[in-house]
């Protein structure tokens, strides 16, 4: 089933209002994967700072300190 431009606009409006994919899907009686796809393809949510912070890899840090040796556990 193809979504009309009005349905896509409604999905974007609801997502901007803070609703989740599953909530929007239940409200509009469509699959949550369709809602996610519409939101991702719109490109309107790509600059979310929380998303960037969650999925960015921190820059590598190098040091000159030697690694410490951990003692072996006592047996017996």
- Answer yes or no: pTM beyond 0.95: no
From residue 61, give the alpha-carbon distance in Å to each of 34, 37, 40, 57, 65.
Answer: 40, 36, 33, 12, 12
Instruction: Give a yes or no: residue 28 inside a domain.
Output: yes
Residue with tokens 């600059």: 47
For 15, other C-beta atoms within 10 Å of its C-beta total: 20
Domain that holds residue 37: 5-47
- Which pLDDT score is estimated for 67? 78
All residue ranges of the chain with pLDDT < 50 are none
Burial of 24 (0-12, 13-18, 19+ CB in 10 A): buried
- Which pLDDT score is estimated for 70? 86
Name the domain count of the chain.
1
Instruction: Give a yes or no: residue 64 inside a domain.
Output: no
Instruction: Give a yes or no: residue 37 inside a domain.
Output: yes
- Which pLDDT score is estimated for 27? 96
- Which pLDDT score is estimated for 76? 67
């Amino acid at each position: 089933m193809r979504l009309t431009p009005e349905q896509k606009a409604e999905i974007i409006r609801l997502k901007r209002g803070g609703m989740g994919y599953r909530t929007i899907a239940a409200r509009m009686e469509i699959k949550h994967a369709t809602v996610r796809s519409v939101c991702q393809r719109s490109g309107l949510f790509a600059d979310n700072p929380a998303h960037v912070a969650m999925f960015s890899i921190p820059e590598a840090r190098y040091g000159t300190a030697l690694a410490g040796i951990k003692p072996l556990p006592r047996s017996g």
